[in-house]
Amino acid sequence: MSSGGTPSRRDRSQLRQEGRRRRRRVVWSAGAAVVVLLLAAGGAVAAAMLTNRDDGADTAATQAADTGPIVFPDDEPAAEAGAEPCTTVRVLSSFENAEMVAKLVEGYNAQPRDVEGSCVTVVAQTEKSGVAATDAGANFKDRPEDERPIVWIPDATSWLNVARYSGGGASVPKQGTSLGASHIVLAMPDSLADAIGWIDERPSWSEVFAVADDEEAWADVGRPELGAFKLGKTSPLIASSGEAALLASYGSVAGSIADLTAEQIEDDEVTEEVRQHELATSHYMATPEHFLWHARQAEETGSVADFLSAVIVDEKSVWDYNRGITSRDGVSRVQSTPPVEQLVPIYPTDGFYTADNPAAVLIGPWVDADEKAAGDDFVRYAVTKQGQQIVRDAGYRDLNDEMSPVVQQVGRFTASPHGALQFPGQKVLITAHQAFPEVRKRAQVLFLVDVSGSMAEPIATGDTKLAAAKDAITQALEHFSAGDNVGLAAFSDIDAGPITPGMVGEVADIGPNRTLLLRALGALKPIEFTPLYSAVDAFVAQQAAAFDPDRINAIVLLSDGKNETFAPSVDANQMLANISAHHHHTPVLVFTLAYGADADVATLQAIASATGAHYYDATDPTKVKDVLGDLVTSF
């Protein structure tokens, strides 16, 4: 023990092991079930691309392992632009790699282009990885043909495989061309990584999940004030980092991250242990940006450790966070001063997946010969000397595994960490996707709906606000399955009366109660006033009293107006103080959805922040179905 009473690095390992023995927990072992991929040449990106177990990205980095570093050719723009009208190439990226793709688009458009005699204009689009994969699997049938992408650049090859499996996927080629890479790592606040010893000694995934499962993990290293270990994950059905987290969990249980099979994922004993791992998840979010935005908010109001102990994200997200860039919605980006406590990327010893950013020129019937040729030319540009410089400057490893020095320094990245893995092939991926609903942490969720008089107002679709909200909630309920506890309450009041109608569907297993819940939803009607503060205060207290540590305890609040009531009511400050107090002991996440132009956005944002949840914007009420569909991926 150090002289000041704080455990030394050597002491921490002993303390952890003693804590495990006291509780008859599994002793951590860096040597257990560890497969370390060592590659002498070609770098981490080449390692990630080396084993192509199914469909995968056709990358220059694969060749680099055998032939040495790639010599990137110079871009060769046209002497002058081709004839108008220009060929338009719509390039669809993920939220995670949107900045890189936007800068590649900018660089390409900055030079004259002549492809098949026409000038070219490239336009960037963005969508969440899982959503884009579903759309691609259906050949983007819900988009007009002149809005469908010509090139799709998900942040990982896994989504090409998912798209080809779901629906027809006929428009998606088997392979894409990797543009650059970002390893998916365990990111931790610096002081926490140091306290647990993982800065000096890389853990295995087995150790990571053992710590996350252990209620005394921080007490074992002399930091009991940190409470439970809070592990953040994105949804594996939406984000590559979520896929990586789920696959790592299965692999660590089965004995090898690198050699995980579909049969192991389907094994009952493996499944049960993975289900136990998922109980350590604080809650799921749609993108890494969601988690890191909340981490920054937590630091500004106290400590980042109040929100998370660790989160599984890509390196690019770590670099953004450490330089002060966050995004509430994954689209708009806010630059502020760098955080006081930065994140440290941890590369587990038994392997970590790599987001390889494959560019796939689509082959759907809406892609004509000129668009295909122009799409191919854009991809060609991305792997030139000029394109790869943009890739490095955007926070990625290029196809030679090289990073910009400032990116490496600010992100605190290891130059070429051993253990980089390509995502597994289609069979393993789809099996994991299909297994997730069975192993994910179960939810205990109350939908809390504003039924004030303004909910009778019509919206652009011709429906009333309340009718559109009912349709959106009906669709959102499809996300939940038997074993999830879901309920419904609504709030308004008349004159100085009590909150009404109150609880209309008790929080209970949605399996046998789905029909009753839908019937209660259908019966809701607009009433009169908006007792927002008292409704939130009362229902958070009620749900906190029923807190279940093995579930994601949450409220989904939908409101279209400001607090307005004649009844005596708690004020905004007291309401926020009350729900914050619950959050420290029996945390109930209050996800808020601002519905319509008159919603009290500031208050709804404050409610979400006070509970470590997320605010969603449906101030355009016609978007409520999409927004609520996004929100429920947190469960």
DSSP string over 244-281: HHHHHHHHHHHT-STT--HHHHH-HHHHHHHHHHHTTE
Please state, in angstroms and as integers, the Cα–Cα distance from residue 153 to each residue in 125, 170, 374, 476, following that order. Answer: 10, 16, 15, 28
C-beta separation of 447 from 473 below 8 A: yes
Instruction: Say which range, 7-11, 321-325, 372-376, has the weakest mean pLDDT.
Output: 7-11
3-state SS, residue 56: coil
Cα–Cα distance, 529 to 611 (Å, whole number): 25
C-beta separation of 453 from 531 below 8 A: no
Count H helices and E strands in the chain, helices first.
24, 20
Cα–Cα distance, 150 to 168 (Å, whole number): 17
Question: What is the per-residue pLDDT across 542-582, written as a single tens digit (0 to 9) for each?
Answer: 999 999 988 999 999 999 999 999 877 899 999 999 998 88
Share of the chain above pLDDT 70, in %: 89
Q: Sheet harboring 83-93: ordered strands across?
A: 118-126, 83-93, 151-153, 358-361, 177-178
- Domains of the chain with bracketed CATH: 54-181+356-402 (3.40.190.10), 182-354 (3.40.190.10), 441-634 (3.40.50.410)
C-beta separation of 28 from 20 below 8 A: yes
State both tokens at 281: 């998840």
Cα–Cα distance, 57 to 457 (Å, whole number): 50
pLDDT for residue 360: 97
Reported confidence tier of residue 67, pLDDT bands at 50, 70, 90:
low
- State in Å, rounded, how far the first CA of the chain is from the last one: 42
Which residues share a beta bridge with 559?
594
Cα–Cα distance, 528 to 451 (Å, whole number): 8
Question: What is the per-residue pLDDT across 581-624, written as a single tens digit (0 to 9) for each?
Answer: 887 788 899 999 999 999 999 999 999 988 888 888 888 988 88
pLDDT for residue 167: 64
C-beta separation of 105 from 69 below 8 A: no
What is the pTM (predicted TM-score) of this model? 0.83
State the residue for tokens 């055998």: 66
C-beta separation of 33 from 206 below 8 A: yes
Please state, in angstroms and as integers, the Cα–Cα distance from residue 583 to each residue in 297, 304, 447, 607, 622, following that order. Answer: 15, 15, 18, 11, 32
Highest-pLDDT range among 43-47, 94-98, 296-300: 94-98
- Residue 219: φ, ψ to 5°: -65, -35
State the residue for tokens 């569907």: 505
Residue 404 vs residue 48, higher pLDDT: 404
Which residues share a beta bridge with 233?
284
C-beta separation of 514 from 484 below 8 A: no
Residue 530 vs residue 297, higher pLDDT: 530
pLDDT for residue 168: 62
Q: How many CB atoms lie within 10 A of CB 419?
A: 26
Question: What is the per-residue pLDDT across 269-292, written as a single tens digit (0 to 9) for each?
Answer: 999 999 988 888 877 877 888 788
pLDDT for residue 584: 75
pLDDT for residue 66: 56
pLDDT for residue 585: 82
Could you give the angle at the alpha carbon of 25 between the alpha carbons of 23 and 29, nearest 5°? 140
Question: What is the per-residue pLDDT across 498-513, written as a single tens digit (0 to 9) for each?
Answer: 999 999 999 999 999 9
